[in-house]
Chain A
């Protein structure tokens, strides 16, 4: 890398810090809010730190509304969605995991076909796929609803999963295709002479070498699926198939907004993605910068 002067280095670091602050700062009020009461939050809007701390928000959501603690024991109304939070969390994990796995399987098979098998029309299919993804999701909602109703997939997790896979697949393909392209073809040819079929060469040679790209796109897919609201909102109306974002949305209405409970849900909801990123950290930087530098 080129040597930078001290001044540019300081400026670069400041810019970097500013970006990080912009992304992280909103978390601070969420953390502070999650550990206090609604009354405490409203009491003095100018105070930086809360006057009292409580874990009741977490008790409430994790127990599904049965453990009301001191904060909520004499509250007259609790939105129904709060009671479904543990279940919604599980649903979100299931949807996120299956969507991620499904997208990765289909996207890597697609990338293999497009980059390795010389079939001309696959290139056209790719283009059509990419262009169709430029259509805003909201436009597709009514047709999607009708189609899913036709297949009897409304109010089911499989409906949500299939729809999200369809939505996310092109993005994963965009990440994987260039990565596949830069892997030398001789590796698979050598494997085929060593005793692999085209498919087993793909499984045993190509896929292990794609770990960074798979990890990177996997994390991105999981995060997008994790906070997807529109699709489950349209497909799902029964509380037992709600996902976390739907529960969150249910806490906002014309008559009430449960700020502190929402903040607690946000924090708990952060955990799976955080865990995933930490686990795959080793591959992520490699995968997201792949192809940027040769060799």
Chain B
């Protein structure tokens, strides 16, 4: 069990800097998800923790010891690769026992520990097979098993589920989470799937272009995004962002969306008339016949079974809302919508930072 502290971490490839001054702490037993769009440096950060990439600047500490220059083999860190990287010339059993064999663990103990991990992962009947004789999901489990048998200080995962089909991905997601709850091992999990991050992680680190945008618990990021990027990255369907001007009305905040539509908003430290973005999640729009509701013209209706996503326009701007109940709405219908109390988030139109 271990904790990791990353300070001012930088990485450059030649003249190109891909990681800019990253600061993040990973507590003992915590499951941290690194999310962000493709190319934002998630893998690079993970590989630096593993010791597979040189550190350009800053420090990485494992249990208060600086490990910048420690060889990967001496870090006691295990990693599950996106491609699984199973050794093709070894059986499942040899794959899983390889690290222990290198550590000169007695043969009998290796066998016992591999058998135990294989039982956990339902791999017992495949121990004698070679990786090429396994399905994608089984390979994925072998890759997990190879890490588990070592009981390392830290687990690293680089998009371990992205090669699986949708159904299996959901099942493995649950299995990995259950495994983490049982082993309680410190884990860093890279994904660009925000649902994976939301469902599995204790803490999410949102990255963009080599910088951290926000760190927090999944629901914290959902409820309290620091900027437009985080707000749109977390949550599906994505948050609605309507442009308008901040106004004050009866001593309370509001946003003028144009076309004579003014919607209630939290009171924030902004000048009246300042351009801003009015953020409201689709699930937080409710149908109401009150004075503070706005006209919503229905354009597209998408039933998913569990909910219905309705796309339309408020004040000429595209808005999505989602609804639990079945509906018999048709395109062209007009509803009156208002935000659920306390669910509006305002952002500066220029800096895209949250207005509070």
Report whether A186 and B83 are in contact in the complex, using a CB–CB cutoff of 8 Å. yes
**Interface membership of A209, Cβ < 8 A:** yes
Report whether B85 and A195 are in contact in the complex, using a CB–CB cutoff of 8 Å. no
Whole-angstrom distance between the Cβ of A255 and the nearest chain B Cβ: 58
A184 to B52, CA, bound (A): 14
Which secondary structure dominates chain A's binding surface? helix
Report whether B77 and A193 are in contact in the complex, using a CB–CB cutoff of 8 Å. yes
Which of chain A's residues have a CB closer than 8 A to the CB of B98? 191, 194
Which of chain A's residues have a CB closer than 8 A to the CB of B150? 194
Report whether A193 and B79 are in contact in the complex, using a CB–CB cutoff of 8 Å. yes
Report whether B102 and A195 are in contact in the complex, using a CB–CB cutoff of 8 Å. yes
Whole-angstrom distance between the Cβ of B295 and the nearest chain A Cβ: 55
- Name the residue on B nearest A189 (C-beta): B52
Report whether A184 and B85 are in contact in the complex, using a CB–CB cutoff of 8 Å. yes
Q: Please, what's the 1-or-0 string for A173-199, where 1 marks a CB less than 8 Å from any CB in chain B? A: 000000000001011011111111100
**Interface membership of A208, Cβ < 8 A:** yes
- Name the residue on B nearest A201 (C-beta): B73
Q: Which of A190, A196, A197, A200 contacts B81 (CB 8 A)?
A: A190
Report whether A194 and B99 are in contact in the complex, using a CB–CB cutoff of 8 Å. yes
- Name the residue on B nearest A188 (C-beta): B85
Which of chain A's residues have a CB closer than 8 A to the CB of B73? 192-197
Q: Please, what's the 1-or-0 string for B116-136, where 1 marks a CB less than 8 Å from any CB in chain A? A: 000000000000000000000
Given A209-B88, A209-B89: A192 and B102 within 8 A (CB)?
Answer: no
Whole-angstrom distance between the Cβ of B159 and the nearest chain A Cβ: 12
Report whether A190 and B103 are in contact in the complex, using a CB–CB cutoff of 8 Å. no
A168 to B79, CA, bound (A): 40
Whole-angstrom distance between the Cβ of A21 and the nearest chain B Cβ: 38
Report whether B99 and A195 are in contact in the complex, using a CB–CB cutoff of 8 Å. yes
Report whether B81 and A208 are in contact in the complex, using a CB–CB cutoff of 8 Å. no
Report whether A189 and B89 are in contact in the complex, using a CB–CB cutoff of 8 Å. no
A186 to B78, CA, bound (A): 13
**Interface membership of B229, Cβ < 8 A:** no
Report whether A197 and B89 are in contact in the complex, using a CB–CB cutoff of 8 Å. no
Q: How many residues of A contact B (CB 8 A)?
A: 16
Which secondary structure dominates chain B's binding surface? loop
Q: Which of B52, B88, B102 contacts A196 (CB 8 A)?
A: B102
Given A189-B52, A190-B79, A191-B98: A197 and B71 within 8 A (CB)?
Answer: yes
Q: Please, what's the 1-or-0 string for B74-117, where 1 marks a CB less than 8 Å from any CB in chain A? A: 01011101010101110000000011001100000000000000
Q: Which of B51, B78, B83 contacts A184 (CB 8 A)?
A: B83
Report whether A205 and B87 are in contact in the complex, using a CB–CB cutoff of 8 Å. yes
Which of chain A's residues have a CB closer than 8 A to the CB of B87? 187, 190-191, 205
Report whether B102 and A193 are in contact in the complex, using a CB–CB cutoff of 8 Å. no
Report whether B99 and A208 are in contact in the complex, using a CB–CB cutoff of 8 Å. no
Report whether A187 and B85 are in contact in the complex, using a CB–CB cutoff of 8 Å. yes
A200 to B98, CA, bound (A): 13
- Name the residue on A nearest B88 (C-beta): A209
- Name the residue on A nearest B78 (C-beta): A193
A186 to B87, CA, bound (A): 10
Which of chain B's residues have a CB closer than 8 A to the CB of A193? 50-52, 72-73, 75, 77-79
Which of chain A's residues have a CB closer than 8 A to the CB of B81? 186, 189-190
- Name the residue on A nearest B72 (C-beta): A192
Q: Please, what's the 1-or-0 string for B7-47, where 1 marks a CB less than 8 Å from any CB in chain A? A: 00000000000000000000000000000000000000000
Whole-angstrom distance between the Cβ of B62 and the nearest chain A Cβ: 14
Whole-angstrom distance between the Cβ of A261 and the nearest chain B Cβ: 47
Among B52, B71, B72, B146, the one with the most A-chain Cβ atoms within 10 Å of its Cβ is B72
Which of chain A's residues have a CB closer than 8 A to the CB of B99? 194-195
A53 to B88, CA, bound (A): 54
Please report which residues of chain A, range 227-276, place their CB below 8 angstroms from some CB of chain B when the two chains form the complex.
none
Which of chain A's residues have a CB closer than 8 A to the CB of B103? 195
A187 to B89, CA, bound (A): 11
Which of chain B's residues have a CB closer than 8 A to the CB of A191? 87, 98
Report whether B71 and A208 are in contact in the complex, using a CB–CB cutoff of 8 Å. no
Whole-angstrom distance between the Cβ of A199 and the nearest chain B Cβ: 11
A195 to B88, CA, bound (A): 18
A195 to B77, CA, bound (A): 10
A200 to B75, CA, bound (A): 17
Whole-angstrom distance between the Cβ of B14 and the nearest chain A Cβ: 11
A264 to B92, CA, bound (A): 51
A50 to B150, CA, bound (A): 72
Please report which residues of chain A, range 201-216, place their CB below 8 angstroms from some CB of chain B when the two chains form the complex.
205, 208-209
Q: Which of A186, A208, A209 contacts B85 (CB 8 A)?
A: A186
Which of chain A's residues have a CB closer than 8 A to the CB of B50? 189, 193
Which of chain A's residues have a CB closer than 8 A to the CB of B52? 189, 192-193
Whole-angstrom distance between the Cβ of B158 and the nearest chain A Cβ: 9
A205 to B146, CA, bound (A): 15
Which of chain A's residues have a CB closer than 8 A to the CB of B146? 190, 194
Please report which residues of chain B, range 129-151, place their CB below 8 angstroms from some CB of chain A when the two chains form the complex.
146, 150
Report whether A190 and B89 are in contact in the complex, using a CB–CB cutoff of 8 Å. no
- Name the residue on A nearest B73 (C-beta): A195
Whole-angstrom distance between the Cβ of B72 and the nearest chain A Cβ: 4
Which of chain A's residues have a CB closer than 8 A to the CB of B79? 189-190, 193
B contact residues vs A (CB 8 Å cutoff): 50-52, 71-73, 75, 77-79, 81, 83, 85, 87-89, 98-99, 102-103, 146, 150
Q: List 18 A-B contacts (CB under 8 A).
A: A184-B83, A184-B85, A186-B81, A189-B52, A189-B81, A189-B85, A190-B79, A190-B87, A191-B87, A192-B52, A192-B71, A194-B98, A194-B99, A195-B99, A195-B102, A195-B103, A196-B73, A209-B89
Q: A190-B87, A205-B87 are in contact. List 20 more A-B contacts (CB 8 A).
A: A184-B85, A189-B52, A189-B72, A189-B79, A189-B85, A190-B81, A190-B146, A193-B50, A193-B51, A193-B52, A193-B79, A194-B73, A194-B78, A194-B98, A194-B99, A194-B102, A194-B150, A195-B99, A195-B102, A197-B71
Shortest Cβ-Cβ A-B pairs, 6 listed: A195-B102, A186-B85, A194-B99, A190-B85, A192-B72, A195-B73
